[in-house]
Structure 1
Amino acid sequence: MKLLMVAIPNHHFFQWVNQLKDSGYDVYWFDVTDGGPKSPKVDWVIQIKGWKLKWDFPFRSTIKSKFPKLYKIIQKSNENNIEKAFKNALNSIKPDIVHCFEMQLSGLPILPIMEQNTIPLIYSSWGSDVYYFKQLGVSKHQLDRFYKRVNYLITDCKRDYNLATKNGFKNQFLGVFPGNGGLTIDTTKIKLVTERNTILIKGYDDGVGKASIVLEALALVSKRLLLNKKIVIYSADDCIQQQIITSKILSKLQIKVYSRYHFIQNKKLLELMGTSSIYIANSISDGMPNALLEAMSMGAFPIQTNPGNVTEEVIEHNKNGFLIDAPLNVNEIVQHIENALNDDALRQQAQDFNTNFMQAHYNRATLQPSIDNLYITVYAEMN
């Protein structure tokens, strides 16, 4: 069986596709961004790269960084069309199945070519692409065309399956799976509640992510509760670092910032989660966040927004975490942080429940046979 994956270079995609390494399938990856060299993280996959540039001219990177306007002008005539490149890949590989990950970045660019054939198309929804499609610039007409062509749907939450059907998807649903295919849980890195002294915060502040509101809240949290606490912010936008520097209160706290533009290894992030008292992520839109599932699997007490009621699929408020009702309400987040840090018994109860729940429902080893079987099911139906 030949599988052609269409995706951006993304850690979650790499994790998903690596579950197929020993499946016996011929797996190809069309990188829709054609960004960078071949990835060693999926070195067993046949990677289709180098399609975008007609000529990789001397000093291209220097011109791109120092003269971006000039670079844009040059690239208008120096870049190959993605539809043409994908069509060439399709004709060359002759895949049995095409699987695209995320609609806006991966699905829509190849849609005109997929509309010209009947190859089974699987679509995995990611993040906000179903829930927030209008705000992401996808028109209802584009959505209708895309759903009409998609033969099989995979979502990372129940909410997005319901939304897709309401918006016109009428074909086969393959099920709810985490976007990365599942969690690899190292129980030796899960610390006791009494050994946890870190507050871990997701640092996106990009219009959808609202980490700046979390930092405003943190500045109002009782100083007593923050004594001897390490604060770690990962995947932080530049404005977050600036917010800390300019705040008299935040600048005095023990805060370590990992920039969004400098990769932090997933293994290291999981270890941080295993030592964190609480994990906070604040946004106005999302799918089922993989980082939330990872934090829960490592025993960190989750404080998370609930856009479109997605997070409540795994968090029951006041039982195994706190749901943020109003992402822009600083006082609500202050209250959640203080309540969590003040209640050791609740955090212990949540840790016990969450680690067991994640092992039972999101363990990578448990999900792998089911994911492998998805492709067998689709292949069997077409033959």
Structure 2
Amino acid sequence: MNSGGAERVVTTLANYFALQYNVTIITIVNTTPFYTLNKEITLKSCVNEINNSKNLVSALKNNTKLIKTIKKHLKSENIDLVLSFMTTSNVLSLIASRSLKIPCIISERSNPYIYTNNSFWDKLVKYTYPKANFLVVQSNLIKNYYQTFVKSNKVLILSNPISETLSSQKNISKKRTPTIINVGRLDSNKAQDVLLKAFASINKKDWKLVLIGDGELRKDYEKLTKKLHIANKVIFTGNINDVQNYYNTASIFAFTSKSEGFPNALIEAMYFEMACISTDCPTGPSDIIENTKNGFLIEVNNQSQLESRLIELIDNNTLRDSLGKEAFKTAKAYEVSQVAEKWNELIIKLI
């Protein structure tokens, strides 16, 4: 339950369902939730820290313990239905829930063409996933992958909801500043280095760039800003709880990912009526953005295209406003009430 896209989705759905169901969240590792949870939600964990498996035998031993703990929690909380997110949790939850004859809906959050499992986990996925009542994914490309070994009528596309806690803090009366933002983990897949280089190249006076998030490449990116002579114009916020302040006041959202499961930050920025530029990466952005109508799509790793679109938006306030208004029309379909009710239809079928 740290910061992150999947964690925000779990929090958003849990808070929504807590109004009509008894909700328990079981995490593999004991963590303090980054996002605010409804006080009625019960939190359980399996271990305080993960023991890295040294070989196949230790892996089997560690995961067997986790399954036993999950089963214990399912029994003690009188669970009627399991919703699971992420590959490891999906496999463990399926084994635990099916052994207790509890229905289980699993959800994959990443692109399986990019993030591949080792041979051991690949076999576990192909053995367990067909046993799920439903498998929820975010795009047709990902659906096609899982349909090769899971019955097609079990694989469903459901969008990620925008957190109600976040959407309720939208404030269109706020004045927008000459600021470009990027929201996401600072790693090679999010490719913020491309954005930093593009920002340095266009060198627009009075504009600043804010990178919201943290990750293993933060120090490298901080060094890069010094090398590019833009350190005084780039802000690294780390993980924050008030991202809505930037969505309300920044002027441009730039998304440079090489791949996505579903781009949560992009749809959030669109909901806040920001002018958005995104790579046309697999998967998600092209399902949300209609190029030049409600945002801009650019090629992955294409710095020159990014520079061109940034300059176009920086120099044209009217264009920024029009793209932002169209973006909001698209993003409204991702409000939690609409998305969560589609999840609820699945829940009602199984309990």
Q: TM-score range by the shorter chain?
A: 0.7 to 0.9
Pair 1:136–1:14, CA change in 2 (3 A): farther
1:181: how far off? 6.4
RMSD: 3.5
Would you say the 8 A contact 2:200–2:230 is kept in 1? Answer: yes
1:38: how far off? 11
* Partner residue of 2:313 out of 316, 321, 340: 340
The equivalent residue for 1:60 is none
In the alignment, structure 1 segments of 5+ residues that lack a partner are 1-6, 57-63, 70-75
Q: How many residues align?
A: 340
1:81: how far off? 2.5
* Partner residue of 1:85 out of 69, 72, 75: 69
For 2:99, what is the secondary structure of its paired residue? coil
1:159: how far off? 3.5
For 1:10, what is the secondary structure of its paired residue? helix
For 2:236, what is the secondary structure of its paired residue? strand
TM-score, scaled to structure 1:
0.76
The equivalent residue for 1:72 is none
1:244: how far off? 4.6
Amino acid at match of 2:295: G
Distance in 2, matches of 1:138 and 1:79, equals 12
1:195: how far off? 3.7
The equivalent residue for 2:275 is 301
* Partner residue of 2:291 out of 314, 317, 333: 317
Would you say the 8 A contact 2:28–2:66 is kept in 1? Answer: yes
Pair 1:180–1:87, CA change in 2 (3 A): farther
1:167: how far off? 4.8
1:144 aligns to 2:97 (yes or no):
no
In the alignment, structure 2 segments of 5+ residues that lack a partner are 53-58
For 2:251, what is the secondary structure of its paired residue? strand
Would you say the 8 A contact 1:184–1:363 is kept in 2? Answer: no
Judge which range, 93-102 or 369-378, deviates more: 369-378
Distance in 2, matches of 1:151 and 1:333, equals 42
Amino acid at match of 1:29: I
1:115: how far off? 5.0
TM-score, scaled to structure 2:
0.83
Would you say the 8 A contact 2:158–2:342 is kept in 1? Answer: no
1:257 aligns to 2:244 (yes or no):
no
* Partner residue of 2:16 out of 19, 23, 29: 19
The equivalent residue for 2:205 is 227
Distance in 2, matches of 1:190 and 1:250, equals 30
1:292 aligns to 2:266 (yes or no):
yes
Give the 5 Å matches for 1:333-372: 333-359=306-332, 361-372=333-344
Pair 1:364–1:167, CA change in 2 (3 A): same
Give the 5 Å matches for 1:366-381: 366-379=338-351
* Partner residue of 1:208 out of 184, 189, 204: 189
The equivalent residue for 1:108 is 91
The equivalent residue for 2:28 is 32
* Partner residue of 2:135 out of 149, 153, 163: 153
Distance in 1, matches of 2:143 and 2:172, equals 33
Report % sequence identity: 19
